[in-house]
Amino acid sequence: MKTVKIILAALLILCAAVLVIAAESSKDKLPGLLERMDAQGAAAQDTKMQKAKDRVLDALAEGSREKVLRSLERYLDGWPDRLDTGGTVARELFVYRNRPSLTAAGLFLLLAGALLLGAVFDRTGKIRKAALPALLIGLLYAGVYILESVVGSGTMLITVLKKGAIYALVAVAMNLLNGFTGLFSLGQAGFMLIGAYTFAIFTIETQSRAQVYQYYDGGLVQFALPTLAALALAGAAAAFFAFLIGLPVLRLKSDYLAIATLGFAEIIRAVFQYDGLGPITNGSNLLRKYPTFDTVLFPFLVAGACVAFIALVIHSTYGRSFKAIRDDEVAAEAMGINLFRHKQLAFVISSFFAGVGGALLAMYQTTVQAAAFTSAMTYEILLIVVIGGMGSLTGSVMASFLFIAASEWWLRFLDNEQAIGSFQLPLMRSGFRMVVFSVIIMAVVLFYRRGIMGDKELSLKRIARRLSPRKGGGANG
């Protein structure tokens, strides 16, 4: 049995290696492939065909994969009889076209093989316990990647996934503070703003600065940081502000804390639009021309890593202390927990990730303006946290995807005038979507008073128990 498993794992890993190498090596093969397809040199006699071929090469030089695929499609469709698309050419074309999916599939197979090997050589059972969730997460990421290359990155589905992942991170960060530590703070938009601006200011390409900061002589900052470093810096800047604000504000309780943090967010928004800070913040003008992401994997990976870290913190000694403070401050203090230090820690961690989330949001929007970070944004996130369940990370994540999908996508049709036959449906006009959306949220809050997850987490064990009520938990969570 053991040898079979090892052989199977080795085979999986071998397949994975072949797939990944084949897919990745197809990257630069297209020019050669084009020549081989047109072995007779038919393009040289046909100007139209030559033009189509040139368009592919132009797109290739430009570096836009989407454009290359589109023009390649047109080229192949236009002259099928004159092009040789059989045999090795066909295979290579297939690999070239499906490179992302094949790489993803390869990586997934690699993960599966590695986990299988791990399970074989596992003595303590620890790896097996972690294997299933790891496999599912790997599957999720591979699935999202394949989905993107299948449906195209410009579609609504991918847009929702991108924004949903970002909001999930921000909501989880807010949940850490409001749901797990019991500090009712409404400063989220302010910290996101700091993150977004820090990221944008330090990553705008140096040659574009004169253009972006046209009213401020090109601005003060004249260098650009790498994206990941700037993301970390965005978090650090938000965390630093949180540390300073926390000194006076965290001595307040419940509603007073909410008012103070809300006020802080409004002040930040005003300060960042202040003309005197123009050389740094570009005043009330847009910031743009900073790096953005084009694959949905980027926000998924960054947000996933951040959420994972928050989950680790929550299940550590610190997380237990946070929950103790939420349950009973007096008792927590009597058990030796330094109230102020722990509250500040939760505040700083939460703001750090709000800052990172803000930076991701800036990348997603491709431009950023302080005026957009209103308290309405904070309420949106608060709504996600409440609907997901105060004190449930998985609840926040699920709720943010549902929230974004409903508000951006599923209810869009309500904003357009519609007719059944000649009957014009009443009410269906721009803005009606938000009415329906609000009604849905009210209904959700009425029926799930503590959010869809309460303070429980979604786990495989729980799902397994749901599915087979008599058997009890069979899988590991």
Partner 1 sequence: MAERVLELDRVTMQFGGVVAVDSLSMRVDRGEIVALIGPNGAGKTTAFNCITGVYTPTSGQVRYLGNLIISNRPQGRMKELYAGSDKAFPAETVVNTPDRITKMGIARTFQNIRLFKTQTVFENVLIATHLHKTSNLFTAAFRLNYREEQQMRRHALEMLEVVGLADLKDEKATSLPYGKQRRLEIARALATKPQLLLLDEPAAGMNPQETDDLGRFITGIKNQFGLTVFLIEHHMDLVMDISDRVYVIDFGKLIAHGVPEEVQDNPDVITAYLGVEEE
Binding site for partner 1 (CB under 8 A): 309, 312-313, 316-318, 320-321, 323-324, 326-328, 330-339, 345, 349, 391, 455
Select 217 or 327, whichever has its Cβ closest to partner 1.
327
Question: Is residue 89 classed as helix, strand or coil in its secondary structure?
Answer: helix
User: In whole angstroms, what is the distance from residue 100 CA to residue 64 CA?
Assistant: 14
Select 331 or 427, whichever has its Cβ closest to partner 1.
331
Select 248 or 336, whichever has its Cβ closest to partner 1.
336
Write the CA distances from 179 to 185, 384, 398, 448, 455, integer angstroms: 10, 12, 16, 16, 8
What is the smallest separation between the CB atom of 124 and partner 1, expressed in angstroms?
A: 13
What is the smallest separation between the CB atom of 306 and partner 1, expressed in angstroms?
A: 12
Query: In the numeric block, which tokens belong to residue 307?
Result: 């959420």
User: What residues contact 177, with CB distance under 8 A and at least 6 apart?
Assistant: 183, 185, 346, 347, 350
User: What residues contact 259, with CB distance under 8 A and at least 6 apart?
Assistant: 186
- Tell me the Ramachandran region of residue 304: left when phi exceeds 0, alpha when psi lies from -120 to 50, beta otherwise: alpha
Beta-bridged to residue 424, according to DSSP, are 419
Instruction: Judge whether 268 and 194 are in contact, CB under 8 Å.
Output: yes
User: In whole angstroms, what is the distance from residue 390 CA to residue 147 CA?
Assistant: 31
What is the smallest separation between the CB atom of 345 and partner 1, expressed in angstroms?
A: 7
Select 74 or 320, whichever has its Cβ closest to partner 1.
320
What is the smallest separation between the CB atom of 320 and partner 1, expressed in angstroms?
A: 5
What is the smallest separation between the CB atom of 321 and partner 1, expressed in angstroms?
A: 6
What is the smallest separation between the CB atom of 195 and partner 1, expressed in angstroms?
A: 20
Instruction: Judge whether 167 and 396 are in contact, CB under 8 Å.
Output: no
Select 281 or 321, whichever has its Cβ closest to partner 1.
321
DSSP state of 98: T
Among residues 314, 187, 327, 329, the alpha carbon closest in space to that of 244 is found at 187
What is the smallest separation between the CB atom of 346 and partner 1, expressed in angstroms?
A: 11
Select 39 or 308, whichever has its Cβ closest to partner 1.
308
User: In whole angstroms, what is the distance from residue 356 CA to residue 383 CA?
Assistant: 20
Select 218 or 454, whichever has its Cβ closest to partner 1.
454
Bridging pattern class, strands 419-420 and 423-424:
antiparallel
Select 325 or 377, whichever has its Cβ closest to partner 1.
325
What is the smallest separation between the CB atom of 418 and partner 1, expressed in angstroms?
A: 47
Select 14 or 331, whichever has its Cβ closest to partner 1.
331
What is the smallest separation between the CB atom of 354 and partner 1, expressed in angstroms?
A: 17
Instruction: Judge whether 190 and 351 are in contact, CB under 8 Å.
Output: no
In this structure, the dihedral spanned by the alpha carbons of residues 207, 208, 212 and 215, taken in order and rounded to 10 degrees, is: 30
Select 175 or 321, whichever has its Cβ closest to partner 1.
321
DSSP labels, 21-66: HHHHHTTT-HHHHHHHHTTT-HHHH-HHHHHHHHHHHHHHHHT-HH
What is the smallest separation between the CB atom of 298 and partner 1, expressed in angstroms?
A: 23
User: In whole angstroms, what is the distance from residue 411 CA to residue 156 CA?
Assistant: 12
Instruction: Judge whether 322 and 314 are in contact, CB under 8 Å.
Output: yes
What is the smallest separation between the CB atom of 428 and partner 1, expressed in angstroms?
A: 45
Select 323 or 465, whichever has its Cβ closest to partner 1.
323
Query: In the numeric block, which tokens belong to residue 3?
Result: 């040898």
